[in-house]
Structure 1
């Protein structure tokens, strides 16, 4: 049985917020910021397939953000294999940025903040899987979150075709037992495509990735805190500083470098979003944990080779040109 909701009948004024409220009743709580405040349409089709949910989301140009405040602590962990079915988009999670074109997948942990934006009308189809089931196929899914899986990888072309068909809302037309088998076959194909593109992890490495994910989750949850530091992380997670450095080293980046990079990336993202054009650069920077305008300006220039003000001007001009 298919569940269908859309923006039809919703008020034109502040439709993004109205859609977010409706979307949250079926999927997850998120904030929607339409690219065009005068016109925004969206549709969500949901089909249950055995232990997984297939959700086809069609929408006009917009950005979708799931914030720390949207996440319920202790809620069952759910992951989405997101297929870019039509249009293009950019997905951000855990410091990873994936540019998506039709046929690409990306894995999303709904228990962590993430951000997605489309460059125009787009269709995404999500395969939503409980962690308990997903871990059967991907024992350490956290290492793949935010990572693009291109349409040429492994069996991903066949998996994409299957997801498109299932996302049509027609369903496989078989018994509940067979639906579960179809779902597990689909998860097997997608997971094999991810693992075949990466060297298999030894048990010790898998444990290290799990611990690193816990550290990253804490950082992402507290990225706006200006007092965030390795010492604070060690104290809150009750691990030694040496152990913390060892665990985090598996990603090839020091903790302070990761924190700074993620803050700069979030600032750049908001500076590029017309919805934040009325906020000053200092307001944006301080909201992401910076406490010095000079430090923000210097480190931003080092990363992006341009001053923050000029970066914002160019980004907003590109947005206007692209959608005029």
Structure 2
């Protein structure tokens, strides 16, 4: 198992060196720690058949994979994130997941994400190429960003199994049965997700896959003030009626989803002290709003208070 420690990097260039190391070994991302002076992280990598295991331990930091990090030439990978210790918050594909020990979330390398890990966080990542995962989980897009809780179905048993396998790999475990172990593990993970998010038999797998495609399109264009059901339908080359059918299964209109996601992203920046120097209008317009009055009204409806009051309460 390969191991890397931020303490081994030069203090004056530690953050840049760690970002480069992580991007080279896993995915292109930007680490932004709560304190760059106190930043400390460890990364261990192992392999079990087609599954790459990665254990990351770090103090509080945000790991951002934005659209600029995603290259068309890169292989598409999915990562099962297991919160083995501490806590974290994942924002991905329009979902927010607050992870505590034993919880899982699924992440798609082809879509942006924001992953904030708290002090003492330990995360085990199981990385699989899209083709292999689809043999076990035909529509992984529908699960990306969702929070699979430890107490649901087989999740607790899967959490314990993954942690034990990771510990065995750290000791140098190898076996001629590694491929079979990996396939069994993927099958059980697939079953855990199917049990944890049973969306009912009335919604076809094709429709769920199309819904995930629409969500990904919206997330990629969320900052565009021209984004609308009409432009989404045109961009995906589907009819507006079919777009409404895709979203009907969720009980939320497309336009409502767009507004909700924009408000969530605005609220995230409003309560972030690093954005205190930006006006509320700047933040709103950066996320696709083109009317300050409309932003204030919809924000109040969603959060129960005006944006200015929300900022005052959150950061003083």
Structure 2 equivalent of residue 305 of structure 1: 304
Map residues 200-219 of structure 1 onto 2, 5 A cutoff. Answer: 205-219=204-218
Deviates further, 274-283 or 38-47: 274-283
CA deviation after TM superposition for structure 1 residue 80, in Å: 0.9
The secondary structure found in structure 1 opposite 2:71 is coil
CA deviation after TM superposition for structure 1 residue 4, in Å: 1.5
For residues 14-49 of structure 1, the C-alpha deviation after alignment (integer angstroms, 9 at most, x for no partner) is 744442222100111112211123211111111011
Map residues 262-301 of structure 1 onto 2, 5 A cutoff. Answer: 262-301=261-300
Matched, 1:125 2:124: yes
Is the contact between residue 12 and residue 39 of structure 1 (CA under 8 Å) also seen in structure 2?
A: no
Structure 1 Cα separation of the partners of residues 104 and 291 of structure 2: 38
Structure 2 Cα separation of the partners of residues 264 and 241 of structure 1: 24
Structure 1 Cα separation of the partners of residues 289 and 304 of structure 2: 19
Q: What TM-score do you get using the length of structure 1 for normalisation?
A: 0.90
Unaligned runs of 5+ in 2: none
Q: What TM-score do you get using the length of structure 2 for normalisation?
A: 0.93
Structure 1 equivalent of residue 219 of structure 2: 220
Unaligned runs of 5+ in 1: 318-324
Structure 2 equivalent of residue 249 of structure 1: 248
Matched, 1:148 2:152: no
Structure 2 Cα separation of the partners of residues 12 and 314 of structure 1: 36
CA deviation after TM superposition for structure 1 residue 74, in Å: 4.9
Is the contact between residue 94 and residue 215 of structure 2 (CA under 8 Å) also seen in structure 1?
A: no
Structure 2 Cα separation of the partners of residues 131 and 302 of structure 1: 40
For residues 93-121 of structure 1, the C-alpha deviation after alignment (integer angstroms, 9 at most, x for no partner) is 12211111111111111211111112322
CA deviation after TM superposition for structure 1 residue 254, in Å: 0.9
Deviates further, 165-174 or 297-306: 165-174
Matched, 1:42 2:41: yes
For residues 117-141 of structure 1, the C-alpha deviation after alignment (integer angstroms, 9 at most, x for no partner) is 1232211000111111111221111
Structure 2 equivalent of residue 180 of structure 1: 179
The secondary structure found in structure 1 opposite 2:132 is helix
Deviates further, 83-92 or 305-314: 305-314
Structure 2 equivalent of residue 76 of structure 1: 75
For residues 45-103 of structure 1, the C-alpha deviation after alignment (integer angstroms, 9 at most, x for no partner) is 11011101100011110111211121112532211110111111111112211111111
The secondary structure found in structure 2 opposite 1:106 is strand
The secondary structure found in structure 1 opposite 2:282 is helix
Moved segments of 4+, more than 6 Å: none
Structure 2 equivalent of residue 21 of structure 1: 20
Structure 1 Cα separation of the partners of residues 315 and 164 of structure 2: 37
CA deviation after TM superposition for structure 1 residue 255, in Å: 0.9
Structure 2 Cα separation of the partners of residues 290 and 11 of structure 1: 43
CA deviation after TM superposition for structure 1 residue 166, in Å: 3.0
Structure 2 equivalent of residue 111 of structure 1: 110
Is the contact between residue 63 and residue 118 of structure 1 (CA under 8 Å) also seen in structure 2?
A: yes
